[in-house]
Structure 1
Amino acid sequence: MNSNVDILVVDDDKVVQKIVKRSLESEGITVRSALNGEDGLAKAYNSTPDIILLDVEMPGLSGYEVCHQLRENPRTSNVPVVFISSHSSLRERMQGYEAGADDYLVKPFDPEHLMAKIRVLIKYLEQKASLEKQYKLAEKAALAAMAGTSELGVAMDFMTKIFSYNSYETLAQGFFLATGKFGLNCCLLIVDEGGSYWFATDGNISPLEKEMIEMAEKETRIIDFGSRTIVNYPGICLLVRNMPIEDMERYGRTKDILPVFLQGMEAKIHALQTELALMQQSEDLLRSFGRIRTDLYYLAKTLMTNQEDSAKVMHQMIRDLNLDLLRMALDDDQEKYLLNRIESAIEEAAKRIDASPFIANSLSNVFLNLKTVTRKQRILVETFIARHTAGPAEEVVIEDDNIELF
């Protein structure tokens, strides 16, 4: 047993104190004692023990309260605590666990049972110390590696900023800014349905460079020739003009990190293409809504004009019939009968075709809904345009918003 282990026993029962002390000191373990919670806290804070054996029921502070305070203090927050109690129910064990205990020992207990638990905790402490040592060594190595190179930091910074770029031009500028920190001089090709877009660190691309990039085998991810390297990704191709072949360690790190850059750029290019397609679709919808609104306006106006004209025609027909009946020299009863029948039929027909209020209400509702959708769609288009243009967005021309149907 490790003789450097220091155990603090906090228990108001002196018999238990003697049993624990006799059992542990025979194994070469240092044992300190406290008869109440206040004294136990003071001794634990004064000299942090490796393990604390803590009675649950004591005068003054209970074991639960003592354990809670131990866990709140940074000096003792990680010290293993074993509760000693005469109660062994699940409820008491759960209370001990909630208070922060690591193990539970039921009175009365055999010295062998006590030693078994102590051995388990000592092994746990040794493993914990070993893991902490390994962690510190690994952390030190990682910090040393990061301190020796800034490549990872540059890549992380670029990936953090990549989704703030709103065009191929700003994306390429951000990429060249990042690769410039590596001392790299690059050419970049981005291809989409709209065509090919060329960019270079210094703004100049020779015809031969364009030919090499376009002819490079697209199935091959990385092509090396001299101090040049071509990296292929779907929709994007990179030519590095000055790979650091004089420093093979740096050369290897550069080749490892370039695909990281291009993977991020590939994702951003897809996002830009999607946004541009949505913007075009929104512009088309906006124009369609404008045409529909205009057509509905003139449709409603035509329907109402036709209804008015039909009513005028009917009224004129009644007047003409009156004149015609006078020429026919009919009896008064016959004339009156025919006029009543004709007038009733015309009035009934007029009622059936005169749907002006219904048409007005229906078309007004449709028109207002289209007006609302158009306004929202225009806001969406203007937002897209603002993101993809350096200057002010051009307004999409549609029919006047202030058209009133009625």
Structure 2
Amino acid sequence: MTEQKKQVLIVDDAPTDIQFVIENLKDEFAIKVAGTGRKALELAEAYPPVAILLDVTMPELNGYETCEKLKSIDATKDIEVLFVSANDSIEEILKGYEVGGSDYIVKPVNPEELRRKVRLAVQNTEARFSVVSEKKAAMEAAMTAIMDASEQAFVVGFLRQSFNVTSFKDLAKLTVEYTSKFGLANTVQIRGPWETITVSSALPIAPLESELMYRLADSGRILEKGKRLILNFPLVSQLVKNMPNDDPDKCGRLRDHLALIIEGASNCAKNILVNDEIARLIEESNETLLQIQKLQTNQKETNMKIMDRLMDEVQQSFLTFGMSEEQEDLVLSKIRDAVDDTLDNFEAGLKIDEELKNIVERLEDATVHMQVSEPYSGEENSADDDDFLL
């Protein structure tokens, strides 16, 4: 396959000079010709060449004025310009360099010098274009890295905030808010054993949207159609309505960031369920221990009353038994020993009461600590309401 020739633009109003240059360059380069400076500007911007041969003396715009304008246009400012003139004074040559020319060819033109200088100009233009292209690529890569770092900061911010969330509703609001920071309209649904919470950046939430998210929860981790994206994790689903499909790199980054956020929300939802169950068990245990403590206290009081009544009845019965004083003292001594044993047992019971009391207090503290986080107070971001169609 023949390599396409590089294009050179000749700007001159003298047909003879134009023909001379064409004859000497046509074997190596594709040639375009402009008879005026204004025409040269049009052609150079529409079909940028790799070198421009520019006559100095022309009507309307002379060569220096044309070169100044070429250097002020982004599309042509990096193209090598070679002046062609019969005037080889130092003043003219310096003027050419001042307006942005890279070389000066004096008429009458030597063919070999012409070809050599044009080849060098083409090499310089291509090298400059390569540097500009590399700088542009490096800048784009740097901007992508900066954007990625900024987006990752949103993910980290969400994960940090999620540690303090204690309810499905607050978790859904937090997820919607941080997703909105990416400029995305979104809806989040969290499904628990007793309730399903749906929160959206667009109000009100369409019933069809909520119902469809519920039904698609088991249809795969990632669902995409057009600008719509659904992410499904255990307990949590998210619908994004305006993914930037026109920018595949950004779209891929956002998809990764959102997957991390929803996975974090899923783990947080599981923790909320576990903590709620623990709190419920603690509360039930607390109530049970309080009942046991109350029953033990009542039982001890009843036992003491029984022992007091027994002592009274025994002492009264001595009057009818005809017992000697020594016998009465012996019986009373036995009863007092039994009462003392009962009191000792009662004291042991008091220690058990104290332990039960400590357990109750620790359970109450644990319940308070599990609920210590403040409810999430972030405000929902509003967004345009889109019809939900998949």
TM bracket, shorter-chain basis: 0.5 to 0.7
Task: Write the distance in 2 (CA, Å) between the matches of 1:195 and 1:151.
Answer: 32
SS of residue matched to 1:237? strand
- Partner residue of 2:371 out of 344, 362, 385: 385
Could you say if the C-alpha distance between residues 179 and 390 of structure 1 is closer, same or farther in structure 2, counting changes exceeding 3 Å? closer
Q: Contact conserved, 2:176 with 2:187, CA < 8 A, in 1? A: no
TM superposition shift of 1:295: 1.3
Match of 1:398? Answer: none
SS in 2 for 1:374: helix
Say if 2:351 is the partner of 1:365: yes
Find the counterpart in structure 2 of residue 312 from structure 1: 312
Does the CA contact (< 8 Å) of 1:184 and 1:242 recur in 2? Answer: yes
On the 8 A contact 2:191/2:197 being kept in 1, the answer is: yes
Tell me how far apart the structure 1 counterparts of residues 282 and 215 of structure 2 sit (CA, whole Å).
Answer: 37
Residue 318 of structure 1: how far off its partner (Å): 1.4
Partner-residue secondary structure (3-state), 2:273: helix
Query: Could you tell me which amino acid in structure 2 is paired with residue 145 of structure 1?
Result: T
Shift in Å, 1:319 = 1.8
Judge conservation of contact 1:307–1:354 (CA < 8 Å) in 2. no
The Cα offsets for residues 152-207 of structure 1, whole Å up to 9 and x where unpaired, read as 23223323333133332332232222211221111111122232122112343211
Are the counterparts in 2 of residues 192 and 235 from structure 1 also a CA contact under 8 Å?
yes
Secondary structure at the aligned position of 1:288 is classed as helix
CA-to-partner distance for each residue in 1:234-253, whole Å, 9 max, x for gaps?
11111112222343333232
| Structure 1 position 255, deviation (Å) | 2.0
Which structure 2 residues correspond to residues 40-55 of structure 1 after superposition, within 5 A?
none
**2:156 alignment counterpart:** 156
Q: Which deviates the most, 200-209 or 296-305? A: 200-209
Q: Distance in 1 between matches of 2:142 and 2:334?
A: 94
- Using the alignment, how far apart are the partners of 2:264 and 2:157 within structure 1? 12
Q: CA 1:144 to 1:227, structure 2 compared with 1: closer, same or farther past 3 Å?
A: closer
Q: How does 1:110-259 map to 2 (within 5 A)?
A: 143-149=142-148, 150-216=150-216, 218-259=218-259
Q: Partner of 1:243: helix, strand, or coil?
A: coil
Relative distance call for 1:377 and 1:235 in structure 2 (3 A) is same
Which structure is richer in relative contact order (CA contacts within 8 A, separation 6 or more)?
A: 2
Query: Relative to structure 1, is the Cα distance of residues 217 and 169 closer, same or farther in structure 2, using a 3 angstrom cutoff?
Result: closer
Gaps of 5+ in 1: 1-138, 323-334, 392-406
The 1-side partners of 2:175 and 2:237 are apart by 13
Whether 1:290 aligns to 2:253 is: no
> 2: distance between equivalents of 1:271 and 1:250?
32
Give the conservation status (yes or no) of the 8 Å contact 2:220–2:232. yes
* Cα displacement (A) at 1:264: 1.2
Distance change >3 Å, CA 162–CA 386, structure 1 → 2: closer
Deviation, 1:219, is 4.5
Q: Distance in 1 between matches of 2:203 and 2:143?
A: 37
1:89-116 deviation per Cα after TM superposition (whole angstroms, max 9, x unaligned): xxxxxxxxxxxxxxxxxxxxxxxxxxxx
Q: CA deviation at 1:142?
A: 6.8
Aligned length: 239
1:388 CA displacement = 6.3
Alpha-carbon distance change, 385 to 154 in structure 1, aligned in 2, over 3 angstroms: closer
How much has 1:213 moved relative to structure 2? 0.9
- TM-score, length-normalised on structure 2? 0.55
Residue 351 (1) aligns with residue 329 (2): no
Q: Secondary structure at the match of 2:372?
A: helix
TM-score calculated relative to the size of structure 1: 0.53
**Unaligned runs of at least 5 residues, structure 2:** 1-137, 378-390
